[in-house]
Amino acid sequence: MEDSHYVGREQSEVKHLILQEYLLPFALIIGRGHGSITYVDCFSGPWESASTTHEDTSFSIAIGQLKKARARLKRDGIQLDLRAFFIEKDRNAFGRLQQYAQKIRGVEINVRNAELEESIDDICCFVREANRTFPFVFIDPTGWKGFELDVIRPILTLRPCEVLINFMTHYIVRFANNEESKESFERLFGSDDFYNRLQGTQGSDRVDEAVFEYRDAVSKVGNFDYAGIAGILNPIRDRSHFHLLYFSRHPRGLEKFKEAERRSMGEMEQLRARAQKSGREQRSQQREFLYADEAPDSTYYLSLRERYLGFAKADVIRLLQAADRVTYDDAWNAWLRYPMVWEKDLKDWVRESSKIALDGLGKRERVPKLGRNHFLRFAGIA
């Protein structure tokens, strides 16, 4: 997805790539069971769009992928109605958003120049107006205010519904120690537990405490059974920039989101390598001989991946310690709640571990699968 429109904001390119990679399979699956999809973009912009056609914005990418899915379904004789609700509080940005919306054909679009908090009731009404529609809500703020948990609760409790939230990790962690921000963070997380636990933590522990706490808080409020995280790294520094948190009530959704995350991580490392190479060249005023994307230094990314694999393994082991055996579905769900780990890692770990045994596999089955009544247990425990 390399694009000159994203120079200097490569993290946004990765975010949009994940959105693009997920929305197409989402729409193809949902379109076969629902007659309509409603896409809600709660902080639409456009902000830093460098394209006159806004092809480097979330709302344009979403509409493009949904229309592509509709065309494919139409070939199979399936009709899919597309709807969208766009919100932008900045008047200048809203003007550009409105111009874009007026040019789109074949999609029912409602645009609103307002704060998200002022638009919650309108969003819910718009969703419920359509028969058998399935809403996908994207909450992509520029900071940590405006989408407090009590504000977005009515959206989270819509049924059916899937939600993707851009959690601005770098800014949230940076200001979390500020006493003046305590009240706003309590509203963001829905309690003061997070703020108290964060005190005294630092580095990766601090980041993970914030991200995992928010994942669990949203999951509880929305009664989401499945939650996934995609960690987006800063293009030029070894630190997290933001995290995309995905929420669903069906395992197929989490499966497709994690596939989109996995496909995007290699591209993220290539983009980071190019951005870092460009920075070195600017500082030295000399062009480097080798292209950075021939051998990106993924040391930091790989260290994070090992960290989260360790968390995932520990969670599955805790499940096994609490019961004689655990369904593969439950182990899978616990495993995929972490960023940068995938189902293949779980299957490899189970296959290579001398401590884990499999039950329930058929004669021709070699690996566990979802929905097949497969179980994990400690080896030696009948």
Least confident of 84-98, 143-157, 279-293, 327-341: 279-293
Model confidence at 294: pLDDT above 70: no
CA 371 to chain centre: 24
Report pLDDT for 80. Answer: 97
- pLDDT tens readout for residues 232-244: 999 999 999 999 9
Strands 162-167, 133-139: pairing is parallel
Kindly state the percentage of the chain with pLDDT values over 70.
96
Phi, psi of 290 (to 5 degrees): -90, 145
Residues in the chain: 382
Distance (Å, whole) CA 199 – CA 134: 40
pLDDT band at 1 (very low <50, low <70, confident <90, very high): very low
Compute the mean pLDDT over every residue in the chain, rounded to the nearest whole number. 92
Report pLDDT for 194. Answer: 78
In the chain, % helix, strand, coil (3-state, to 5) comes to 50, 15, 30
Report the pLDDT averaged over residues 327-343.
Answer: 98
Residue 38, SS3 per DSSP = strand
Model confidence at 291: pLDDT above 60: no
Report the pLDDT averaged over residues 217-230.
Answer: 98
Are 332 and 374 in contact by the 8 Å Cβ rule? The answer is: no
Residue ranges of domains in the chain, CATH in brackets: 4-274 (3.40.50), 298-378 (no CATH)
Report the pLDDT averaged over residues 189-201.
Answer: 81
Model confidence at 295: pLDDT above 80: no
Phi, psi of 98 (to 5 degrees): -65, -40
Model confidence at 290: pLDDT above 60: no
- pLDDT tens readout for residues 101-118: 999 999 999 999 999 999
DSSP characters for 91-126?
Answer: HHHHHHHHHHHHH--SSEEEEE-S-HHHHHHHHHHH
Report pLDDT for 178. Answer: 73
Taking every pair of C-alpha atoms in the chain, what is the biggest distance, in angstroms? 67
Report pLDDT for 67. Answer: 98
- DSSP element (H, E) containing 37: strand 36-41
What's the whole-model pTM score?
0.94
> Which tokens is 134 given?
């399935």
Compute CA distances 94 → 100, 120, 141, whole Å. 10, 18, 15
Non-local (6+) Cβ contacts of 102 within 8 A are none
pLDDT band at 50 (very low <50, low <70, confident <90, very high): low
Report the pLDDT averaged over residues 327-354.
Answer: 97
User: Considering Cα of 288, then 242, then 94, then 25, what sign does the dihedral take?
Assistant: positive
How many Cβ atoms are within 10 Å of 191's Cβ, its own excluded?
14
DSSP 55: T
Kindly state the percentage of the chain with pLDDT values over 90.
75
Model confidence at 285: pLDDT above 90: no
pLDDT band at 209 (very low <50, low <70, confident <90, very high): very high
Model confidence at 180: pLDDT above 80: no
Report pLDDT for 292. Answer: 46
